[in-house]
Structure 1
């Protein structure tokens, strides 16, 4: 131990350790011989080292030596059964300008105990009021020129992480420093003739006392200069520009499913609608009489699954809104059940993926790891010329890194850059990946959102303060750096100079509000649907006018009147007959009013308050047979005998009117239709 001395008391004056040990050794032997002489008379007998004879009291003397216990110059002296010294302690002394002082204590059984006051002290006697020459290099954010550096002088011209760290170290060790920029602007690499360039070369030539920068601790540099303990841990990483996928558009809500899935969902909807329409026609349990007559057995059977309703029922289930159509037969319920199960899984999957697709812009990065980078040639990659990263690839024995070095070394034009800023510009302006330290990677990614890190770290290393070989200040700087780390000052300085960029942190995954660029498409769909509905209503209006009796009122006047009644919330009175169940009105003579009040038709059978008219009953059945063109109306076989029946009222009597109910494809309920009975 360089500064370790053993002393018998606190009043130790500085005797050399070897002399003290020699004195204690002689003192121990003399004490053992005296004890042996008391027990038995020992004589002096000359012996030759080459002779086979031994001293007869030698074994006894060894036993007495093991029993010796005394206090010597080196402290307590005691031996165990094997003859080894035990139960002793050492005082750890530090040599200062004022002499030696104790800084710790070591005991054979208790171990090392250091004085905590030494580490908490901010005073270093060896560096007190000493001016050190610091060589460094301009590189963000370690050392930068202030915006008004031309107006300043000396150390005040610079700012950055290393400048603040130097201030912290100067306050602890109480030294002065002068910042000097390296002449050739490089960190330091060996030349062919054995000399070194950059900051390492200046330390070797004793032109500088310290090298404070992002200087990587490597084995090759450690052979020619000394390093302090690392003040920052890092590794080589890959910097590449961001390749964003397509930005969310108005119809990005369709992204959770691929176009193929949407197509198959449409085909599934059409298939279910067709199967439901077919099954509902085949099963007899979906045919029913909505308003059965109280007399007779002639019924008009209705099926609720028309073609329109068969297309609408799956839509209601898919949108999870349901419909008024309820399946009755087991077969139709089976179709409905499997369709609902299908929509349950589809809707759940869509909802689960919708948030991610609307809030996250996925990056389309062609490389995801260092292996992907090494296995391709479309993307160029390189590092700083003369830096530690270049040396890492040059000396690596890993196959992937060797292949990367061969590519970088033989690539023309050169893929090496002179500075980090040049490498960043090359990444942004060309298809280039930059290999640099992770700390610099993080710094530039915070300032430019178009940059991203690909993969993890290629190695692990640290930044240290460089000093000439055998520097007497190395221990002081080691203790000062440890003190800064324990006080969390280095982490505070790193946050000061690394954070504050305009780009959000990559680990910040909090939910963000959606804008119109994310969900604007659904508003477009809503507006288009409303416009189509209005357009279809106008077409239906015009279609009904085209198939109605001629009226003196024009189409435009009719539409304006209809809109006015809608706005004023008035009931419409239509002087015409429309398809879909509207009743044509005209002056009715008393006999007709009486016949209408006493005779009505419900679902194909004539019912009246009084006695049923057989002729009107048969005519109603005749009219019901005409409705067989509708796919969802069926007349019972017993009514077919009324086919071909005609009415011949007496001459001069007015035509009779009956009202019967019939289903059409465009309606779900029986609609009253006016039939006029004439002589024909």
Structure 2
């Protein structure tokens, strides 16, 4: 009985409101009746809004469905009663409406005291209603003398081949009352000849889907993905159309009063026939308009402002470690050097005896015991500077020419080598990443990061499907993450919700990283490729949705033809080429095409610090060598001069002492004093001068001369052995 061989009649007056999807599988033929209702009228929208508000919380599914015929008849009855009461009031008469329990009982008896009296309001109001004739939601409302409705019509609606359509009318005044449309001129809705009809297409300016481009001659025209999509569809299924922009700039959301705004509202109320735009397909919209198959899929992504890439530093090789690590590493090197010095000082295995072949009068740096022309000294390689050199060589992976010999020293050295192995390996691994990669860092990387903080505000377009996605998250079955995000957006002041997509993008660019905008991933990807190239998409898309073409439910056949055209465009790969045209070929930003696994060439900006350190180290080394050369040269000259002066003084003193002894001896022996000093040969004057005998001079002067000769010989050797020393010697 549910096949095409049977034809059933549905007697209720709300056939157009029932779900017939399950009845069309077997090709069943079904005919019913429906009140002629102008759903685009303001009165119907007010009624639908009140209907949705009443059942929004208790019965969400019923709130979004069409209003039943009983509610429409009740609405019309109240409006007729009000019109009748107004006509009585305008005639100058007053209705004595008794008050009982704060409401009126016009058609029942009212008990006053112990006597029951009949109300006089009912008959008078009933007569006024019979005389009232008005147009309401159910059509013409008019009554005959018996109070029965007259002069009204019904739609005859049929289900044929899976399509619900009006096939005729029933009118009380017609003879016969039933009239069926001619199948050749009317037939199924959508099978009309559309050559003489121009469809109104509602859309919204949103790059790159629809753009208003000004031509050189001053005129403007629409361009974009949706325009090209319409042209491709018309090539397959020809029809005339005219694009008009939606008045309120919204995509379409269900308001609290039950009305739809935006493009969905225009298609639903007949202002437009079709909507071709980035219009998301969802459950609420599908109830009021008919969608084609999707032409593009997407998710909800997060748009943030790009952080400015820091200028490469010449000391980028310091970046693998933080300042704390570098400080700790320097302290560890100094600490290990001191500990190594102390361990090796205390350990007897680090001390050794060396033989010194130099003269016993030479100065030695170590402890030694003098012998016959030779010295013996105790030496230890790990003094302070050598200990630091050992620790630094191990840290630089270069080793050292000295190694500890004691057990304690080797334990300390082994631990230090293991420490430097881990440090250098970690540094090398991080250094390659820091020098060869440069990525934009953002504090927000996912929706979880957004929900976990409050410093960065985030919002959505308040008139689109994204806001509905988060609004329905208040239901218990939705993710707690989305409920938390919607609670933040709904309760934050000033409101983070954007008036349009352009408004949201402007907020991101002007907020200096303090605002994030959630929008469809396709729009986000396009904005990322357009100048000033200062936004980027972060994180994985949230959910999965699709764009479709919205068609009025009265144009069922057109909706089917558009669906077939979209499927054919997908099979031809036309949709992909259109997407590539606007998202790839029109990119204004230069993308980094380097493969993540490919090694990048380093530039001088990142390694300039290495050359600076090399130049600085070379300059310091040269300066130290020059200072050392000058200092040692002056020190050598000073030592030589001081040594020669001391010997002169010592020889003069010995000669003077010898001379005085000689004079005293001669005086005691009553011998004449010598006339010249044996040391310098200068004549002595005065009464005390004596002449020196030849035998005395021969015994004293040769020894002094020998000492002086030895001094001159040693001085000559030192002069010949010192380079660059310009010292002159004067005989004593």
Q: TM-score range by the shorter chain?
A: 0.5 to 0.7
Equivalent position of 1:271 in the other structure: 335
Matched, 1:422 2:507: no
1:276–1:215 Cα change, 3 Å:
same
CA distance in 2, matches of 1:535, 1:244: 42
State the SS of the aligned residue for 2:458. strand
Equivalent position of 1:198 in the other structure: 262
Q: Given the alignment, which residue of 204, 211, 215 partners 1:137?
A: 204
Give 1:392 deviation, angstroms.
2.2
Equivalent position of 1:502 in the other structure: 589
Any conservation in 2 of the 1:445–1:503 contact (CA below 8 Å)?
Answer: no
1:239–1:252 Cα change, 3 Å:
same
Q: Deviations over 1:414-467 (max 9, x none)?
A: 333222111111111123221211111121122254323343333321110110
State the SS of the aligned residue for 2:251. coil
Matched, 1:354 2:431: yes
State the SS of the aligned residue for 1:472. helix
Q: Given the alignment, which residue of 503, 509, 522 partners 1:439?
A: 522
Q: Given the alignment, which residue of 527, 546, 549 partners 1:465?
A: 549
Give 1:203 deviation, angstroms.
1.6
1:522–1:18 Cα change, 3 Å:
closer
User: TM-score, normalised on structure 1?
Assistant: 0.58
Matched, 1:249 2:313: yes
Matched, 1:166 2:230: yes
CA distance in 1, matches of 2:214, 2:411: 78
CA distance in 1, matches of 2:602, 2:5: 73
1:2–1:355 Cα change, 3 Å:
farther
Any conservation in 2 of the 1:408–1:416 contact (CA below 8 Å)?
Answer: yes
CA distance in 1, matches of 2:195, 2:407: 98
Equivalent position of 2:156 in the other structure: none
Give 1:146 deviation, angstroms.
2.5
Any conservation in 1 of the 2:5–2:28 contact (CA below 8 Å)?
Answer: no
Equivalent position of 2:397 in the other structure: 320
Give 1:17 deviation, angstroms.
8.8
Any conservation in 1 of the 2:351–2:380 contact (CA below 8 Å)?
Answer: yes
Equivalent position of 1:644 in the other structure: none
Q: Deviations over 1:52-103 (max 9, x none)?
A: xxxxxxxxxxxxxxxxxxxxxxxxxxxxxxxxxxxxxxxxx999xxxxxxxx
Equivalent position of 2:619 in the other structure: 531
CA distance in 2, matches of 1:138, 1:511: 43
Give 1:216 deviation, angstroms.
0.8
Q: Given the alignment, which residue of 437, 442, 452 partners 2:536?
A: 452
Any conservation in 1 of the 2:2–2:28 contact (CA below 8 Å)?
Answer: no
Equivalent position of 2:455 in the other structure: 378
Equivalent position of 1:53 in the other structure: none
Give 1:164 deviation, angstroms.
2.0
Any conservation in 2 of the 1:188–1:200 contact (CA below 8 Å)?
Answer: yes
Query: Runs of 5+ in structure 1 lacking a partner?
Result: 7-15, 20-92, 96-123, 551-575, 579-583, 585-648, 660-680
Any conservation in 1 of the 2:4–2:28 contact (CA below 8 Å)?
Answer: no
1:284–1:221 Cα change, 3 Å:
same
Any conservation in 2 of the 1:3–1:94 contact (CA below 8 Å)?
Answer: no
Equivalent position of 2:710 in the other structure: 655
CA distance in 2, matches of 1:359, 1:395: 45
CA distance in 1, matches of 2:297, 2:380: 79
1:467–1:326 Cα change, 3 Å:
same
The count of corresponding residues between Structure 1 and Structure 2 is 452
Query: Runs of 5+ in structure 2 lacking a partner?
Result: 7-25, 30-160, 164-190, 359-370, 645-702, 716-732
Please give the residue correspondences for 1:107-122 in structure 2 after superposition, counting only pairs within 5 Å: none
State the SS of the aligned residue for 1:514. coil
Any conservation in 1 of the 2:460–2:498 contact (CA below 8 Å)?
Answer: yes
CA distance in 1, matches of 2:27, 2:506: 63
Q: Deviations over 1:118-162 (max 9, x none)?
A: xxxxxx998789754322111101111234276457xxx222211
Give 1:540 deviation, angstroms.
1.3
State the SS of the aligned residue for 1:455. strand
CA distance in 2, matches of 1:658, 1:277: 41
1:221–1:548 Cα change, 3 Å:
same
Structure number with greater Rg is 2
1:577–1:439 Cα change, 3 Å:
farther
Give 1:326 deviation, angstroms.
4.2
Equivalent position of 2:610 in the other structure: 522
State the SS of the aligned residue for 1:355. helix
Instruction: Name which of structure 1's ranges 487-496 and 320-329 shifts more when overlaid on structure 2.
Output: 320-329
Give 1:18 deviation, angstroms.
9.2
Any conservation in 2 of the 1:230–1:465 contact (CA below 8 Å)?
Answer: yes
Q: Deviations over 1:375-423 (max 9, x none)?
A: 5443332222321122222232244434444443444433332221111
CA distance in 1, matches of 2:377, 2:454: 79
Instruction: Name which of structure 1's ranges 441-450 and 135-144 shifts more when overlaid on structure 2.
Output: 441-450
CA distance in 2, matches of 1:404, 1:268: 48
Q: Deviations over 1:643-664 (max 9, x none)?
A: xxxxxx99725438999xxxxx
RMSD: 4.0
Q: Deviations over 1:289-308 (max 9, x none)?
A: 66787999964444333332
CA distance in 1, matches of 2:28, 2:287: 32
Matched, 1:210 2:274: yes
CA distance in 2, matches of 1:18, 1:324: 100
Equivalent position of 1:477 in the other structure: 562
CA distance in 2, matches of 1:525, 1:539: 21
1:235–1:577 Cα change, 3 Å:
farther
Q: Given the alignment, which residue of 502, 524, 541 partners 2:629?
A: 541
State the SS of the aligned residue for 1:238. strand
CA distance in 2, matches of 1:17, 1:538: 107
CA distance in 2, matches of 1:450, 1:199: 31
Equivalent position of 1:49 in the other structure: none
Any conservation in 2 of the 1:128–1:173 contact (CA below 8 Å)?
Answer: no
